[in-house]
Structure 1
Amino acid sequence: MLGKYTAPERSASLKELGRAGVGRRSFLGLVGGAVAFAALPALTSCSSGGAAPQATSSAGMSDATSKLVPSYIPLDIVKPDIPSVNGTAPGFTKFPSSLVKSVQGVPGKGGSYTAMTPAWWAIPQADNSYFQAVNERLGSKLNFQVSDGNTYADKIQTVLASPKDVPDWVVIPSWNLPPRFGQAVKGLFTDLSEYLAGDKIKKYPNLANLPTAAWKYSCFEGGLYGLPYPNEQVGNAFFYRKDLFDEMGLEQPKSADEYIALAKEITDPAKNRWGSEDVWTGAQIMHGVVDKWKLVDGKLQNKVESDEYRAALEWGAKLFASGAVHPDAVAGNSQKAKQRFESGASLMTNDGVGGWHEALARVLPSNPKFQQQPMDFFAPDGGKPTLFRGLPAAIFSFIKKTDDASKVEEMLALANFVAAPFGTEENMLINNGVEGIHYTLDAQNVPQATAKGTAEVTSTYAFLVNSTVVNNFVQYPGYVKAKTDWEIRQAPYVVDPLFYGLQIQEPSKFGSLGKPLDDLSKDILRGRKSLSELDGVVATWKKNGGDELREFYAGFLNA
């Protein structure tokens, strides 16, 4: 169990979710920085038919969309030790001595509802003591239908194809939203704007505490259909082994050339030590490669057509050619990259920010000197970087369409309980279970999972809706301050990508359009093919659908 009294951190590339054997702790480090060049298939919907494409924007909303989302009414339950700056997560360096009760009375009315959620860990036994305890506090029974997260996309499509079999509450990660979801959402799920828009949200103060951008991103086809799992704005970083750097008298690099030079200096095969892992995602961030599209002279340009993409490939190829990349990474074995970094076989890597505390949990018990630190981002020449903001929400849940308003209101009351922020009794229960059964408190008042807690407390309720993002893993000395300070230093360079917050589902015919370019990038990086081949493959991409896809996105831009 992650527990540790927190709304789990959302970080790293969603590409990793396809790997087998992802544990709950690892998943929670994968959710968020999903921005970072993840191949996000079929995000969601545009209008069907011949009308111009439509989308819901998280920035510059139309008046119609503005009327769908709740008012933002922030809560001030526990003051952070390090306040938020320009959208960063607030930092809590200690746990409060007492918890606040944010939901008075029993929110439920005795209803019983089915809830479908994914799991990237051992599926807990149904009706276990954790479920029983939370349901008792809710005053309603949520009957979870938990499915393997690695095959969840297939499960979602099967369930949604039979409306009568759709559970009362359905969790869908953003990367699992199926093709043509927008055409089905109105018929399958409840438009929550009737219950939550504007000041109607005041009935649910914990939901009103969620950021506006996450609510905007939960709008589909002219309605507010999703309950969001908010995301953090920078989800990926270059990391280095500060403990080993200090021993060797090294400083972190501050430019693209310094990175390669330092990686070469570190590398010593006789000592089983290499300077770097495969950092292709980091290379793109460093070079300011946008996730998909940007405007150049008034025309949409895909990232693969950009000078930044070409420069990132050129730099990455130089890194591999230097001999400083671990041989297993050269061979394409990414699954053990964390293990190599944590063992000291490689000293620089690229990972989701959530991977930081995960590494501390794994390594500190056996190596108390272990220090993993993120580098401040830099432009290739050492100047100011450009960091594109992460998706406003990583996961959504949807309430099945019903004419019974009392059921919807009851489930929203349950959601309000689940969304309780850090510092509340409700947050402690959702994330850790019951004291003495699922966790105990250590000398620093930090929850430590029992065997029963490890087996039973998983992200089931938390997937239905999540509280705001915070940094509060105080069990790792110095971690909260280091992470929060790092986020604050990066914040001035965070910008919105062109289609930030737009829910756009690419037609399924474009699903494999980018694969030849993905394959080519791997070959160019490893010296198997020349950078000169990029132009030809891009030309083929344009001919085979790239230009058509450009026109598709232009429709959203014009709208």
Structure 2
Amino acid sequence: MDERTRARFSRRSVLGFMGTGAIAVAAPGALSACSSSGGGSAPAATGPISAADLARILPAYQPLDLVQPDIPGVDGSTPGFTTMPARLVKSVAATPGKGGTYTVMSPAWWTPPPGLGSNTFYQAVNEQLGATLDFQVADGNTYGDKLQAVLASPKDIADWVVMPSWNIPPRFGQGVGKLFTDLTDFLAGDKIKKYPNLANIPTDAWKYSAFNGRIYALPYPGELIGNAIFHRRDIFEQLGLQPPTTPEEYIAVAKAATDPAAGRWGSEDVWNGAQFIFNASTDWYVQGGKLVSRFETDGYREAVAWLRQLFESGAVHPDAVAGNTQNAKDRFEAGQTLLTFDGLGGWEEALTRVRPSNPSYDQQPLDFFAPAGQEPRIPKGAPAGIFSFLKRTDDTARIEEMLAIADFCAAPFGTEEYQLVRYGVEGEHFTRDAAGAPTLNAKGQTEVTSTYEFLVSPPIVNATVQFPDMVRDLTDWMARMSTFSVEPVFYGQQIQDPAQYSSLGKPFDDLVKDIARGREDLDALDEAVKTWRSSGGDELRAYREKFLTGDETEI
């Protein structure tokens, strides 16, 4: 697999995990040095907003029907394409830009591409845009630190800033209007129709792009479900094992698959999967009409107890028992473990790595299950995972030009624009494989990167046409699981907790590891919960209660 493809898949894996509560990492007070510089009045400090007020500022959803998927989505699940469209559609009739020049700050978790002056990919896209975007690409692993420094010095802010959700600083809502342009009056309601590709982005993604009741960000939409417990179906069939359908069966099957003499263990450490099974995978729940932390729920305790039983069974790989999670993918792909938890993007990565040498390799997600007498309750993933912001300005012409450029970048799969911003020019940056999918050549691997698509993206589709079996299996699985999807408490709301509470949950991470491995008793959870409450948990709960709308489902 080429570097560019590997980078794209790795990023998608990261996005898959964001639905489970990725934590923003940034120093408190990063925006304390911000000053007003035009673009309308700054918003008040972050606070609750009514559902009615929020609905009034959201863009009107206008889904596009340019290219029909081979497998439609169901109730928000990701649609699938098992083949490339016979003909690409042009979604933007006129050149969107007016000759403007804009600097763009963007992350990269791979080797940064050459700059504008020597990058023919940038030059080709900018030519079609009718404007110049000059990307300032920074290391994604230290991007949060870079953002802090830039946001603290408004004069250093680029015209367009990409911000992954996990890099949004504390107290960002207090300063967002001092730094970035309020887009509400350009996009609210039917005004979005001026930008059809932006109007094709689901409402929940726009809702999640609102800070203090105003639209400030352009979103990179997420998936309904981003994670799964996977099993090696090929080896299961060789061993005569059936996929588990209950928590008890999981342990039994994992134990039956374990054969240390053959170098095979049934399971990795699937703590994240356990929290899904026992309905304890989101931070907050409403139970009995009250807001409770997941640490306080019966489901969390049951998940810890189940995980301990799994470890006691001897079915967990010794390296996982020792805490080595870095090589979990390698162990699973090599058949050393047969059950693991991963982001859905990891499926595509694995097939690309393993299928060339092992054509029979077959990993499949388990249908989510729950304890006896219960149905699965799968929390919806974050409606967006990456955002971009326009530097605060009163220049309406510049704002509208950048929004027109964003509309071009948001063109859906099956369009000329989608292909251009992701793969460049055919023959120069990419060729096509046997399935017709674009494949970057050596030049493309060096120059093409995910910069334009980070600005804003269309709804996600599964279009890995080189693996049509995976497309069918994944699309069908997500459609089945969509029946059990639920909106977690505070779904789609941009809420930033006070910085002093950011590490409250950390002791539970270490405690769960100790309980699972028999170093602590399950009763240690009771004392940990008491400590959490007295150390700020009750205050955090009171803060969060202000954001309840009264319409929350008890889950």
TM-score calculated relative to the size of structure 2: 0.93
Q: CA deviation at 1:26?
A: 1.1
* 1:497-527 per-position Cα deviation (integer Å, ceiling 9, x unaligned): 1111111101111111111111111111121
Kindly provide the amino acid, as one letter, of the partner of residue 491 in structure 1.
S
For 1:540-555, list aligned pairs within 5 A. Answer: 540-555=531-546
5+ residue gaps, structure 1, are 5-21
Question: Which residue does the alignment assign to 2:499?
Answer: 508
Deviation at 1:32, TM superposition (A): 3.0
1:66-215 mapped onto 2 (5 Å cutoff): 66-127=55-116, 128-215=119-206
The question of whether the paired residues in 1 share the 8 Å contact of 2:51 and 2:549 is answered with: no
1:279 paired to 2:270: yes
1:28 matched to 2:12? The reply is: yes
Q: Choose which of 36, 47, 55 in structure 2 pairs with 1:54.
A: 47
**What SS is found at the alignment partner of 1:550?**
helix
Measured in 1, the distance between the counterparts of 2:27 and 2:202 equals: 20
Q: Secondary structure at the match of 1:243?
A: helix
Give the 5 Å matches for 1:290-309.
290-309=281-300
Q: Which of 457, 461, 473 is 1:470 aligned to?
A: 461
Task: Name the CA shift for 1:263/1:382 in 2 (closer, same or farther; >3 Å).
Answer: farther
Shift of 1:105: 2.4
Q: Which runs of 5+ in 2 are unaligned?
A: 33-43, 551-555
Shift of 1:40: 4.7
Is the 8 Å Cα contact of residues 53 and 555 (structure 1) preserved in structure 2? no
1:102 offset after TM fit, Å? Answer: 0.6
**Which of 408, 413, 421 is the aligned partner of 2:399?**
408
Among 304, 315, 322, which residue is 1:324 paired with? 315
Q: Look up the match of 2:474.
A: 483
Give the Cα–Cα distance (whole angstroms) in 1 for the partners of residues 137 and 373 of structure 2: 47
| Alpha-carbon shift at residue 383 of structure 1 (Å) | 4.8
Letter in 2 for 1:92: F
**Structure 1 residue 23: deviation in Å?**
3.9
SS in 2 for 1:142: strand
C-alpha distance 334-515 of structure 1, shift in aligned 2 (>3 A) = same
Partner Cα separation in structure 1 for residue 287 and residue 375 of structure 2: 21
Query: In the comparison of the two structures, how many residue pairs are matched?
Result: 534
Contact 1:287/1:309 (8 A) holds in 2? yes
Aligned-residue Cα RMSD (Å) equals 2.0
Give the C-alpha shift of residue 195 in structure 1: 0.8
The alpha-carbon deviation at position 24 of structure 1 amounts to: 3.9
CA contact (8 A) 1:439 1:448 kept: yes
Question: Cα offset for 1:223?
Answer: 1.2
Deviations 1:473-513 (CA, angstroms, capped at 9, x unpaired): 01013111110000011011001111111111011111111
- Contact 2:9–2:346 at 8 Å: present in 1 too? no
CA contact (8 A) 1:293 1:498 kept: yes
Deviates more, 1:424-433 or 1:511-520: 511-520
Matches of 2:21 and 2:310, distance apart in 1: 20
CA distance in 1 between counterparts of 2:27 and 2:230 reads: 29
Output the CA distance in 2 between the equivalents of 1:192 and 1:43: 27
Q: Distance in 2 between matches of 1:550 and 1:511?
A: 13
SS at match of 1:509: helix
* 1:160-559 superposed matches below 5 A: 160-381=151-372, 383-557=374-548
Ranges of 4+ aligned residues in structure 1 off by more than 4 Å? 1-4, 40-45
Q: Secondary structure at the match of 1:144?
A: strand
- The two structures have a TM-score, normalised by structure 1, of 0.92
C-alpha separation between the residues in 1 aligned to 2:215 and 2:3?
A: 31
Q: 1:212–1:285: structure 2 CA closer, same or farther, 3 Å change rule?
A: same
Matching residue's letter, 1:183: Q
Residues 346-374 of structure 1: CA deviation (Å, up to 9, x unaligned) = 01100001111111111111111111110
What does the per-residue CA deviation read over 1:17-69, in whole Å, with 9 as the maximum and x for residues that have no partner?
xxxxx944212221134122444558999xx9xx996245xxxx633222222
Task: Indicate conservation of the 8 Å contact 1:55/1:503, yes or no.
Answer: no
Counterpart secondary structure, 1:229: strand
Identity %: 57
The 1:93/1:55 distance shift into structure 2, 3 A limit, reads farther
